[in-house]
Structure 1
Amino acid sequence: MIKVLYLLNHAGKAGTERYVQTLIEKLHNNKIKAYFAYNEDGLLVERLKELGIETYRIEMRNPFDIKAVFNLVKLCKKLDIDLIHTQFLRENYIAMLSRIINPKVRVMYTNHFIMRNNLPIRIANRIITPLESNIIAVCNRGRDMMISNGINPKKIKVIFNGVDVKYWSEPVESTVREEFQIDDDVFVMLCASRFAHDKGHKFLINALYELKKMTNRKFKCILSNDGPLLEECKKQVEDMGLSDVVIFAGFRKDIKNLIYGCDLYINSSEHEALSFLIIEVLACGVPLIATDMGGNRDIINKETNCGILVQYNDHKGLAEAIIKVMEDGELRKTLSKNALKTVREKFNLDKVAEETYNLYEESLNKN
């Protein structure tokens, strides 16, 4: 059984943490023995402890933290680790540098962002990447960006994010309308992204302002989560006179309950690779509108016909897309049917876990 140490700087509650947790849930005590090391504490540590995973803290101040390198080597020797699976540049560089001291341990990296590196990092990529066994890109645009950042394309394999289709496709009796006192004739939208700059909440709120002017149909938009821009967004909603149609639901653990309680999900992100939330929403059979960025085109396209893509910051365009879905019941049925089919075929967690495990084995067999 392969011993895998999952290494992550911040163990919070975003998509990357969900990626790590789902892989561990699927592979631990089945094909691998999983361990977890982190720098900044968060919800993921709590969740993994509940799963019985051994967790360790390693301070990682920067990508070239030599003290962290030695502490990682020490931990890997103590646990007899075969492979380190990293998620971001900081811990990935630390893990690769640890191989200079402890070459027995292989390093594999999953890239969750589509971001242009500066010149020093691009140069460092060319120097350090040979220490990497394999690299996963979660979308095709991510792969293209890594190549432009100086990564050897032969090391990169695209493995889309995946979800547990059985769990998400089993309906629940949602309590959303009862909880927020929403009448049956009201069209309900949901966005559950964290309130951060790259998630586009201000763009979405501006689109809701346009929507309110364009339709007489009653609607509500539930914004669920927390984050640094929450208070700014609350003020924006109040200043634009949208308090009657926007509901701030806070951070929720019952995301499945929220999804099944809405008629349409909206992803308004400016930057993202391949959103777990989008895939979960589709697995629930809920119609989706998303911005045409990152890996969203890998999910929503003419072949899948499971949602509508809009341009980021086109407020009127998003409002028009919402009206299109809101007023066309047959379209909603088509999108719903194709949504579940798409996830089963392309974004199934079983498929993701199997392909990732195969890369673990391949990494261990490389010189």
Structure 2
Amino acid sequence: MRLIQFTASNGWRGHEQKIIYLYEAFKKYGYVEDQWIMCPEDSEVYRVASSKNMQIIPYNYKKEYDLGLAKDIKRICEKHRVDVMLIHSSKAHTLAVMSKLFYRLETSLVLCRTLIKRVDTNVLRKWKYNYDGIEKIICVSQPVVESLKPAVKNHDKFCVVGSVTDIEKFPKQAPIGILHEEFNIPKDLKIIGNIAEFTGFKDHYTWVDTVEILVNRNNIKAKYILVGKGSLEEDIRNYVAQKGLSEHIIFAGFRKDIPNILPEFNLFMFTSNNEPTGGVLLESYACKVPIVAAKAGGIPEVIVDGETGLLAEVGNPTDFADKVEQLLADEALQKKLTGNGYQFLVENFTKEIIAKKFYEELKATMKS
């Protein structure tokens, strides 16, 4: 198989990390004959792929409906004799469809979808999801499939392949006091943390409300750390200040050292209310950090309640606080959940396993 992974995204989130992970796994395990990443020349994907000496096809992204770029896509696929194009963003989806529709691109098109968001509210968007040239839609979880079903007529196009994590990237499984030292946190205080972009569905408001309850109960001596950046960060900072929690909650900003700081958490508290799966939960498994997460979206496909973590009611800070106290008070339960979680990760979400599943789905679309 000769493969192009195609994105028009400039940012860096879990989906962009997946592109890199898949490239590495396809190469390591010999699933493809040759492969490329096609991405904007000013994107984070380009920067990361370049640093890893991956084969890149950079382009100057101007607009979603760029006929010139759509024509270039056909030329590029013919030049490299590409069998399959794996599409990773909505704008890339549009451009690939235009290439097939207007320039008779013969390469098989497969869409990778990681958002829980309906697409039937826009006529053009709905049309491109039903376009015959899209041969398969690989979704990261069943809730993602369900969100697309109202728009897509042929449900046989759907399949589910879960999130992926590189275990080798997270070798550290015990705290050594990095965050305690950096933020001058007394050694006898636990650290309860979250790593997430400050955006609506991550529901930082419930996270802060939970901290308020825990602080008022005073059963746990802890500091609370939020890692990330985003458009709602200032709103959340103001909300924390209004509740008088500024001395309890630390805003750690965007970090590039997640494999080092994640094991410093005594507990990972994840309040996202519409999460496709939550790749950071898999990273917590890798670091053997106990988890309390919302029973929302695809999270129950990643967290087995009572076996690999604890699930709390969406948007219910009291339930979150109860689960946090329950878990931190029970070392045997922590050991059980982290041990099971690590094994669950190894058996279901490693680069080798997920890359093989992707390969099988992509191979099925190849023209004989």
Query: Fold match, TM over 0.5?
Result: yes
**Pair 151,262 (structure 1): closer, same or farther in 2 beyond 3 Å:** farther
Match of 1:109 among 108, 111, 119: 111
Gaps of 5+ in 1: none
**Pair 193,126 (structure 1): closer, same or farther in 2 beyond 3 Å:** closer
8 Å contact from structure 1 (residues 86, 107) kept in 2 = yes
Whichever residue aligns with residue 77 of structure 2, its letter is: C
- For the residues of structure 2 that align with 1:126 and 1:21, how far apart are their CA atoms? 25
- For the residues of structure 2 that align with 1:203 and 1:61, how far apart are their CA atoms? 37
**Pair 58,95 (structure 1): closer, same or farther in 2 beyond 3 Å:** farther
- For the residues of structure 2 that align with 1:170 and 1:209, how far apart are their CA atoms? 30
> Once the two structures are superposed, what CA deviation does each residue of 1:39-81 show, in whole Å capped at 9, x if it has no partner?
483322211001222231242523x543432232233234332
8 Å contact from structure 1 (residues 198, 269) kept in 2 = yes
- For the residues of structure 2 that align with 1:190 and 1:243, how far apart are their CA atoms? 15
Task: Return 35-44 or 158-167, whichever deviates more.
Answer: 35-44
Match of 2:329 among 321, 327, 337: 327
Alignment of 1:297-336 (within 5 A): 297-302=300-305, 305-336=307-338
Alignment-derived partner of residue 206 in structure 1:
209
> Once the two structures are superposed, what CA deviation does each residue of 1:259-300 show, in whole Å capped at 9, x if it has no partner?
110111111112221121111111221111111111101112
- For the residues of structure 2 that align with 1:254 and 1:73, how far apart are their CA atoms? 39
Residues 1:158 and 2:164 aligned together: no
Alignment-derived partner of residue 137 in structure 1:
139
Match of 2:189 among 182, 186, 189: 186
**Pair 192,356 (structure 1): closer, same or farther in 2 beyond 3 Å:** same
Match of 1:55 among 35, 57, 75: 57
Over the residues paired in the alignment, what is the CA RMSD in angstroms?
2.2
Alignment-derived partner of residue 263 in structure 1:
266
Alignment-derived partner of residue 31 in structure 2:
31
Task: Return 38-47 or 12-21, whichever deviates more.
Answer: 38-47
- Normalised by the size of structure 2, how large is the TM-score? 0.91
**Pair 136,232 (structure 1): closer, same or farther in 2 beyond 3 Å:** same
- For the residues of structure 2 that align with 1:265 and 1:121, how far apart are their CA atoms? 40
> Once the two structures are superposed, what CA deviation does each residue of 1:232-256 show, in whole Å capped at 9, x if it has no partner?
2222222211122111111111101
Deviation of the 1:306 alpha carbon: 0.8
Deviation of the 1:142 alpha carbon: 1.4
- For the residues of structure 1 that align with 2:105 and 2:79, how far apart are their CA atoms? 15
8 Å contact from structure 1 (residues 122, 150) kept in 2 = no
Alignment of 1:164-175 (within 5 A): 164-171=166-173, 174=176, 175=178
Deviation of the 1:119 alpha carbon: 5.3
Alignment-derived partner of residue 13 in structure 1:
12
Alignment of 1:283-298 (within 5 A): 283-298=286-301
- For the residues of structure 1 that align with 2:60 and 2:85, how far apart are their CA atoms? 14
Alignment of 1:339-350 (within 5 A): 339-350=341-352
Q: Secondary structure at the match of 2:254?
A: coil
Whichever residue aligns with residue 360 of structure 1, its letter is: L
- For the residues of structure 2 that align with 1:217 and 1:126, how far apart are their CA atoms? 49
- Normalised by the size of structure 1, how large is the TM-score? 0.91
Aligned length: 362
- For the residues of structure 2 that align with 1:276 and 1:89, how far apart are their CA atoms? 20
Give the % identical residues. 22
Q: Structure 1: which 4+ aligned runs deviate by more than 4 Å?
A: none
